[in-house]
Amino acid sequence: MSRYKHFDDDLSAADLNEAAVLPELDVDEPHQLEFKPQLRNYASNTLSSANKFNINYFKIYFSRRTRLERYLIIIVLLLSFILFASFSTLFYHQPEKQHRDDICLTSACIQVSSSIYSGMNQSVKPCDDFHEFVCGKWMKTNVIPKGHSTWSTTKELAKKNLIILKSILEQQIVINNPSNIFNAEQEAMKFYQSCMNISEIEKQKIEPLEIFLKNNLNLTLNQWINIDQNQTWQDLFVSLTKILATKYGFSYLLPISIGPDDKNSTWNVLHINQPQLGLGSRDYYVNSSMNNRSDPDTDTRNKIIRETYINVGAELLQLIGFDKNQSEKRINDIMQFEYELAIVSLPMEALQKPNETYYLMTLKQLQEHYQSLGLNIYTFLNDMLNINGSNPVKLNENDQVIVLSLDLMSNISTILNNYLLTPNKSHIVIDYLIFSLIFDISSHLPHAFEQITLPLLKELYGMDSLPERWEYCVKETDGAFGYGLGALYIKAVFGEKDRQQANDLIANIRQMFDENLNRIQWIDDPSKNEAKQKLKKIAEKVGYPDFINNKTKLNERYIGYSMIEAEYFNNGIKIIERERRRSLLKFQQKVDLTDWSMTPRTVNAYYSPSANEIVFPAGILQPPFFHKDIPIAINYGAIGTVIGHEITHGFDDQGREYDANGNMRSWWTKLALNQFEERTKCFVEQYSKYTFDGQSENGQRTLSENIADNGGLKLSYLAYQKHKQRALNGGNNLSLPGLPYSNDQLFFIAFAHSWCSLETRNAMHFDLVNDPHSPARFRIIGTLANSVEFAQAFSCQSKTTMNPSNKCHLW
C-alpha cells in the first residue's frame, strides 16, 4: 500500500500531545516595543544639528575632574566603546542597511519577530552551532508541559489550533438550537460533550465493555477469564477474527485494509499487513544485534520497556476481574506470543522499500496457510466485503491480495498453527486478541484504565502525567468529525487570500525544482525527462477539501454518526464501525482523489506516492510558518522549506519508485540509478554519525526524510531568491523589526526556528527507534551543513562546524 510521507508526524505516539499557545502581543502601538537595534536606526535618521558633538565643551568638562574621576570616565568610555563594538557585530553580516521604510510593522510581523527574537542565543556564533544560535534561548525559557513528552514551535501552533476548536465545541447554546448549525457539527459537539462527561464515564464503570463483548463477540468477561486452557480454540479464533476485522477493523493477526494498488494506483484493492504488536515497533522485542546494530544500552532500555508493558498489562487484566496470579501468567504468555510474531515481522528498513514489499498472493495460496485453522478465506473475505448486503463481490481462488512478503505470511501461519492446534497454548491467541482490543479502547473506559498506562508512557516517552482532558477530547473529536470542525476552523483562521498565496509559493517552488533539474549533471536526459513529467503532474491540496463548505455534502459524509451525550464508549465504537464500513466499501472502486488523510487543523503536511500529490492543511499555514502579510524570507524559510520537502519526497529513495501517475514502475536508467544510490550513501553516513545519549541515529532509516529536508531547503531558497528579485521594491520583501539580519539570513533563521524543540530523554530514544525523521537538532545542523548558500549568507569559514568541506548533495 502506498506510504504517506509526512513532513512531521504529529499523530505519532511520541507526539501524543501537541503544543501551547503562541504569545499574544499587544500590537496596537508597535513603536513602543523596545527593539533596540531598530531604535538606533531611527535615531540616526532624526539627529539634529543642535545635538552635534562639542569638542571644546568636552575639554573644559574633562579638565575640571579629579584624577580618579578622569580615570573612571576613561574606563566608562572604554567599556561603552567595547559594548558598542560588540553590539555592532550583530550587523556584521548585514549587507543592506535597514531603514524604517524597509521594516514590516504589521501585527503578524511583530508577532513572528518576537517569537524568533525571544528564542535566539545570539552569544553563539551561527557558524559554530546554528541550532543553539536560533533555539538556545527558546530551549532555556520553555518547559515541556504536563501530559506531553515533546514541546516545539510546531506544538505551540498545534495547541493554539486545539484551543480554537475547543472554543467552537463549547458553544453550548448551539447544541440546544439545532437549526443554527450543520448536523455534522452538532454531532461533533455531542461527541465532545460525551468525552468530557467524566462523571457518567465513571458511573458506568466497565459495563459498556461487558455489553460490547457479549453483543458483538458472544463472549462474557467471566467466560474469557475462566477459559479452558486444556482445549483448542480454532472456532473461537475464527469467530473473533471475522467480527473484529469486518465490523471494526481490529484485524490484529490478519490486518486487512483497502487501498490503492501500487502498480495500478487508480484502483482500490485488498492489502494484508503484518501483525500488530502491543509495543508497536519490532525493535522493542528483539536484540539490537538482530538489526545488525549491536547496542547494549538500547537492549537494556528495551528490556525495561517490555517489563513495564507486562506489569501494565497485568494491572489492566486485574481491573476487569483477573486475579493477580492469573493476570501475570496470561500477560507473560501474550508477551511470548508477541515476541514470536516480532521475530518474523519485517523491520522498518525493509518496510521502507516499496518494491521489495509488494507481492501478489492468490486467495488459493492464502487459504493453504489457514486451512488447518478452520478459517475459510473465501467466505471470510466475501462476508467482509459485502457489508452493505447487496452482495456485489464474489471472490474466488484466483483473485489476488497484496502482501508484504510471502515468507512473512508463511511464518505467521506456522506460529498460529503451533499455538492454536496445541491444547495448552491455543487460549493464548484468544488472550492476545481480546487483550489487544481492550488495550486499544481503554481510553474510552474509566480514568483508572488510562492511569494504569502511565508507567508505560513514562518508559516509552518520558511522560509523567496524562494530557488535560479537554485536550484529549478535542483531538478525539477532530479525529472523528475533522471535516465538520474544519468548516468552522477555516472560517476563523484561513481565508481565500491565504490559500492563493500558499498556492503561489507552491507554484514558485515547483518551478524551481524544474529549473534546478536542468542544472543537475549526474542524472541523464531520459531519467530527467521522466522526472520532469512526474513533477508536472504532482497534484496539490491546500487548506481544506472544498466539500466542507457545502452543507449537504458535509452532512452526507457523517450520515449514521448520531451521537448520544451520555455514551462516550458507545459513541467511539459507533465511529470506529462507520469508518470501517466506509473503508470496505472502497474495494474494487476507483480511488477517490478528493480524499484527504489529514484534517484542516493539523499542523503537518504529506506527500502521497500513489496519488502523486502534496497536501498542506490550513493548520500549518499559520504563523510562524506562514502568513500572507509577513516578509517573503520568512514564508520561504518556514513553510517554503516544508513545501520543498514534500515535493522532494516524490524523488527520494522511496518516492523515486513511483512514476508520474503514481504507479510503482522503474523509470530510471541504470546509469542514473547508480548515481542516485551513490549520492544517497553520503546522507546515510552523515546522519549515522549523529548521536544522543550514546545512541546513534540510523541514517538508513531516516534517509527519505533527510533527502526531503535537504532538497526542500535548497529548492525553497532558490525560489526565494528568484521571488526576491521580482519583488525587490515590494511590500513583502521587508525585514522584521528587532532582528538585525539580512533577509537571506532571516530565511535560514526562520527555517531553524521551525524546529526549536524540547524532548524528554525517553522520547528522544523512542524517536531514534521509531521515527523516520531525524531529531529536530539534527534536521537543523545536518541540512544546513550541506548548504553552500547558508555558508555564504553567514560568511562561515571553510571547515567550521556548520561549513564542513564534505557536503552531501542530491537535488
Going from the C-alpha of 450 to that of each of 248, 283, 702, the distances in angstroms are 21, 25, 32
323: alpha, beta or left? (left if phi > 0; alpha if psi -120 to 50):
beta
Nearest to 564 by CA among 573, 555, 554, 576: 573
DSSP label at residue 246: I
Q: Which three-class secondary structure state does DSSP give residue 302?
A: helix
As a whole number of angstroms, the distance between CA 2 and CA 606 comes to 12
10 Å Cβ neighbour count for 729?
A: 5
**Exposure string for 337-355, b = 16+ CB within 10 A, e = fewer:** bbebbbebbbbbeebbebe
- Classify residue 485 as exposed, middle or buried by CB count within 10 Å of its CB (0-12, 13-18, 19+): buried
CB 610 within 8 A of CB 262: yes
Instruction: Give all strands of the β-sheet with 264-272 in edge-to-edge order.
Output: 256-261, 264-272, 400-403, 359-362
Partners of residue 150 on adjacent β-strands: 759
DSSP label at residue 664: B
CB 191 within 8 A of CB 198: no
Question: Does 624 sit behind a cis peptide bond, omega within 30 degrees of 0 on the bond before it?
Answer: yes
Going from the C-alpha of 261 to that of each of 57, 584, 667, the distances in angstroms are 87, 15, 18
The catalytic residue among 8, 129, 646, 657 is 646
**Chain centre to alpha carbon of residue 805:** 32
DSSP label at residue 523: S
Apex CA 620: angle with CA 614 and CA 624, to 5°? 130
As a whole number of angstroms, the distance between CA 364 and CA 400 comes to 9
Residue 304 CB contacts under 8 Å (≥ 6 apart), including other chains:
459
As a whole number of angstroms, the distance between CA 510 and CA 715 comes to 8
Question: Distance from first CA to last CA of the chain, Å, rounded?
Answer: 26
As a whole number of angstroms, the distance between CA 529 and CA 532 comes to 5
The catalytic residue among 261, 659, 709, 771 is 709
10 Å Cβ neighbour count for 806?
A: 10
* Grid coordinates of 452: 494504569
**Chain centre to alpha carbon of residue 644:** 16
Q: Is 709 a catalytic residue?
A: yes
* Grid coordinates of 215: 453483543
CB 464 within 8 A of CB 146: yes
As a whole number of angstroms, the distance between CA 273 and CA 1 comes to 9
DSSP label at residue 545: -
Q: Which three-class secondary structure state does DSSP give residue 229?
A: coil
Per-residue DSSP letters for 468-487?
Answer: PHHHHHHHHHHHHHHHHHHH
As a whole number of angstroms, the distance between CA 701 and CA 573 comes to 35
Q: Is 26 a catalytic residue?
A: no
Catalytic center residues: 646, 709
